[in-house]
Structure 1
Amino acid sequence: MLKITLDIIDFAKEQLLNDIIELENTKESSNLNYDRFKFKLAGLLSKYEVKRESSELFESDIEEKISVYLSAKKIEGLSHLTLKDYKLELRLFNNAINKKIREINSNDIRLYLSRFDKLKMSTIGKKLYVLKSFFSWLHSEEIITRNPTSKIKQPKTENLMGKSLTIEEIEMLRESCETLRQRAFIEVLYSTGSRLSEIQQLDIDDIDFQNMSTKVIGKGSKEREVYLSYKAMYHLKKYLDSRNDECDALFVTTRRPFRRMSNRAIEREINIIGKNAKLTKRLYPHLLRHTFATLTLNNGADITAIQALLGHASPDVTLRYTRITEARKREQFQKHFVQ
């Protein structure tokens, strides 16, 4: 009986929301002034019983559910970084919602997301994705009887091509490196197309110098093999030969005590290289991953091979990483079009 009542309330709220949007559209098309619009809105609201929700504090049980959810996802194999992002997003949601988990409805979700109107739609979409995953899991575990996110669609985002560097810009980076470690960074990140976190976790013993390859642990704790170019091997060996520490990590700090570099430290070093090269765009590790994908594709590599090298579950994700040049499109047209 309670479920039916809540469904009716949700339907009424949904209908009211649609009526207000329709009235707003009418206002713009008919050039209604403020007084006439207010009069029509009052007439619309007269069909509903509108009450202000109490601001009385409730003892939220969301935090407890978040902990259980994250534990379940950890067992399923989600990476540490993904779990960290999920935890942050869900705690932001918990701090904003003053309700029991069973009382949260779709309008609460919409109201929460509307607070981020200054963020890009892609960022809001990521927030909604986490909430959908959370509430879908709660519903599948029968912790809640209704999934408040089921009726909310992912926002449409612009289909922007992934940014990448040109071959000339890669050469500019190489020439601007001031240390052996900087050059090794550029060559290894570009050659393997790996994520920053994947390279940061590598040890020297992980490098197969004979086969010029290494295995990295990607998202979902999935292992894959990536490859090092001759340039990458040459400059990595020069960097390793210059070290006199006993640290196992592939990339280490320059000051004692020598230890594995953090993700943030590597990002800073890459940013310095970009500034020295005087690039017109900001340099960050993931840009080299995009560049690897784009230049490899434009050089004739198969999209499925690039997908495997990047560790993507879907070729659709790989396509968002790449930018096919006009010359490459023309070449493919002339090669494959049937006259």
Structure 2
Amino acid sequence: MDWDTALTTFDSALVLLGRSDATRAAYRRDIVRLAEVTSERPPTSLSNRDIRHALARLHAGGLDGRSLSRMLSAWRGLYDCLIDRGLASANPCTGVHPPKSGHRLPKALPVDAAQQLLDAELAEETTLTCRDRAMFELLYSSGLRLTELTRLDVEDVDLAEQLVRVSGKGNKERLVPLGKQAATALQRWLAERQAVQGEVALFTNRNGTRLGGRQIEKRLARWSIVTGSERHVSPHMLRHSFASHLLQSSSDLRAVQELLGHANLSTTQIYTSLDFQHLAQVYDTAHPRARKSAKARTDDDQSS
């Protein structure tokens, strides 16, 4: 069996499992990398040792533990699929672990920077800027993923109850609250929204069809420049900002988990590190008996 056959088999299985196009494309890229580093040897000829060597080569090429862990998961899934279909007898990924990588915290805007970004008054207000403001308010107000934002239909928004129905990973639905300012921005956008006949998407482009994720990223990057932001702002940064700011105020990790749509609490717990950093900065700045400056604490964190 060659790699094309293996990939086609695995992709068909992913379709049956309801995996998104983006997820399937990511799996394909990771498996193609395995084929490349093993010199296109037939997939069923690879051994446990071959998998370890493949990881070592990719690690030496600059990939970190997080990327390699994702790749290994894709490879393992491929072989599990082949075994289920009687096309392979063993999974060569069994017992293989990727190298560990450093703990990476998500980037989040300070509260005042987020407010400045969203409260900025533009020199010219147009239909597009009305739409953009509604999108960015919604990302920050409800902590949506970019793909969740692009999937929204008009009927998913309940302005009266201030709720949004979101289709998350694995097509799991959840209801999230809609902030007052986001609701106001959405109401204005809905009054100006134009769409081709039959288009149900909440956010549409100039042609009246559903707006894509890449377009949203570009509009937000442009918005951050126009409003004087000192950093590049991405949709995921607004989601991280939502989570960290909410946790700073409430300390309710379970509630934040539900709002973000995380399946596991451990995924949400990374924001407790962000919250501690915020508290440490307040202490270092305000307490008269603080033993360390903020710089010294940062240096300690980086060296640990």
Q: Pick from 101, 105, 108: which aligns with 2:50?
A: 108
Displacement of 1:229 in angstroms is 0.3
The alignment status of 1:315 with 2:265, answered yes or no, reads yes
2: CA distance between counterparts of 1:66 and 1:201? 27
Q: Pick from 250, 254, 257: which aligns with 2:202?
A: 250
2: CA distance between counterparts of 1:326 and 1:195? 24
Q: Pick from 55, 58, 64: which aligns with 1:120?
A: 64
The alignment status of 1:83 with 2:24, answered yes or no, reads yes
Q: Which residue of 2 is the match for residue 130 of structure 1?
A: 74
- Structure showing greater radius of gyration is 1
Q: Which residue of 2 is the match for residue 295 of structure 1?
A: 245
1: CA distance between counterparts of 2:195 and 2:97? 53
Q: Which residue of 2 is the match for residue 200 of structure 1?
A: 150
The alignment status of 1:239 with 2:184, answered yes or no, reads no
The alignment status of 1:324 with 2:275, answered yes or no, reads yes
Displacement of 1:309 in angstroms is 1.2
> Which runs of no fewer than 5 residues in structure 1 stay unpaired?
1-59, 332-339
Give CA-to-partner distance per residue, 1:241-277, whole Å, 9 cap, x none.
1335454321111x3x321111110010011112223
Letter in 2 for 1:63: D
Displacement of 1:115 in angstroms is 3.5
2: CA distance between counterparts of 1:153 and 1:236? 46
Q: Which residue of 2 is the match for residue 99 of structure 1?
A: 41
The alignment status of 1:74 with 2:15, answered yes or no, reads yes
Give CA-to-partner distance per residue, 1:84-119, whole Å, 9 cap, x none.
211222233334432222211123223333145223
TM-score by length of 2: 0.81
The alignment status of 1:151 with 2:92, answered yes or no, reads no
Where in structure 2 are the equivalents of 1:138-217 lying within 5 Å? 138-176=82-120, 178=122, 179-217=129-167
Q: Contact (CA 8 Å) 1:135, 1:147: kept in 2 or not?
A: yes
Q: CA RMSD in A?
A: 2.3
1: CA distance between counterparts of 2:32 and 2:105? 32
2: CA distance between counterparts of 1:159 and 1:138? 34
Deviates more, 1:232-241 or 1:89-98: 89-98
2: CA distance between counterparts of 1:198 and 1:177? 27
Q: Contact (CA 8 Å) 1:207, 1:213: kept in 2 or not?
A: yes
The alignment status of 1:230 with 2:180, answered yes or no, reads yes
Aligned residues between the structures? 270
2: CA distance between counterparts of 1:320 and 1:327? 13
Letter in 2 for 1:80: D
SS of 1:324 mapped into structure 2: helix
Deviates more, 1:302-311 or 1:315-324: 315-324
Letter in 2 for 1:248: V
2: CA distance between counterparts of 1:174 and 1:194? 16
Where in structure 2 are the equivalents of 1:14-33 lying within 5 Å? none
Displacement of 1:129 in angstroms is 1.9
2: CA distance between counterparts of 1:232 and 1:185? 8
Q: Contact (CA 8 Å) 2:13, 2:81: kept in 1 or not?
A: no
> Which runs of no fewer than 5 residues in structure 2 stay unpaired?
123-128, 283-304
Change (3 A) 1:312 1:177: farther
Give CA-to-partner distance per residue, 1:289-337, whole Å, 9 cap, x none.
1111111111114211111111111011112255114565799xxxxxx
SS of 1:299 mapped into structure 2: helix
Displacement of 1:194 in angstroms is 0.9
Q: Contact (CA 8 Å) 2:83, 2:89: kept in 1 or not?
A: yes
The alignment status of 1:265 with 2:215, answered yes or no, reads yes
Letter in 2 for 1:220: G
1: CA distance between counterparts of 2:200 and 2:185? 18
Q: Contact (CA 8 Å) 2:194, 2:208: kept in 1 or not?
A: no
Change (3 A) 1:275 1:120: farther
1: CA distance between counterparts of 2:171 and 2:139? 19
